[in-house]
């Protein structure tokens, strides 16, 4: 009985630890909601993680993305050098509202820029937002759980 209870507690602890474990590159994970749609985002909140982004990855699970947290509110831009996955990026203001969404093609140096100053950018598989009817003006819930920018 004690052995069974010990195994059960170990399995529970391992599952709980995995739920909050860092993502592939050691970046923290957070849950975000866009209306009725939920996703898990790796958070790039420091310069090395923001510079690395999703470069060199060959796939991104369906409801998984990367949230970029910027130090300054500005007209931030994104590009796709060394990125294999076609992505869509949502630029998000300080209030958590999507300003604009841009589709980005792999291995390009085209700059995709926020139409007004933003604090965040959320990259998802290309078309993820469109398939769900998510566009400018939609508020994202859960951003307050993101680590502060460094």
Which pLDDT score, from 0 to 100, does residue 25 have? 57
Helix (H), strand (E) at residue 60: none
- pLDDT tens digits for range 22-32: 445 589 999 99
pLDDT-flagged residues of the chain (< 70):
1-25
Per the listing, tokens 């170990």 go with 10
pLDDT tens-digit map of 40-52: 999 999 999 999 9
Sheet of 98-104: strand order equals 98-104, 87-92, 118-125, 64-74, 37-44, 29-34, 140-141
Q: Against a cut of 0.95, is the pTM above it?
A: no
Name 11's Cβ contacts closer than 8 Å, sequence gap at least 6.
Answer: none
Q: Choose the CATH number for 22-145 among 1.10.443.10, 2.60.120.260, 3.40.50.300, 2.60.120.1140.
A: 2.60.120.1140
pLDDT at res. 3: 42
CA distance 28 to 43: 6
């Amino acid at each position: 009985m004690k052995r069974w209870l010990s195994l059960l507690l170990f399995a529970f602890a391992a599952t709980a630890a995995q739920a909050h474990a860092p993502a592939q590159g050691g970046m923290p994970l957070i849950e975000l909601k866009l209306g009725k749609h939920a996703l898990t985002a790796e958070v790039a909140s420091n310069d090395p993680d923001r510079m690395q982004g999703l470069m060199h990855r060959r796939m991104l699970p369906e409801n998984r993305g990367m949230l970029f947290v910027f130090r300054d509110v500005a007209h931030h831009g994104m590009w796709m050098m060394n990125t294999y996955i076609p992505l869509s990026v949502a630029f998000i203001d300080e209030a958590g509202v999507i300003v604009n969404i841009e589709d980005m093609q792999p291995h390009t140096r085209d700059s995709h820029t926020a139409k007004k100053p933003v604090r965040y950018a959320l990259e998802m598989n290309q078309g993820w937002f469109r398939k769900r009817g998510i566009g400018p003006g939609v508020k994202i819930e859960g951003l307050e759980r993101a680590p502060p920018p460094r």
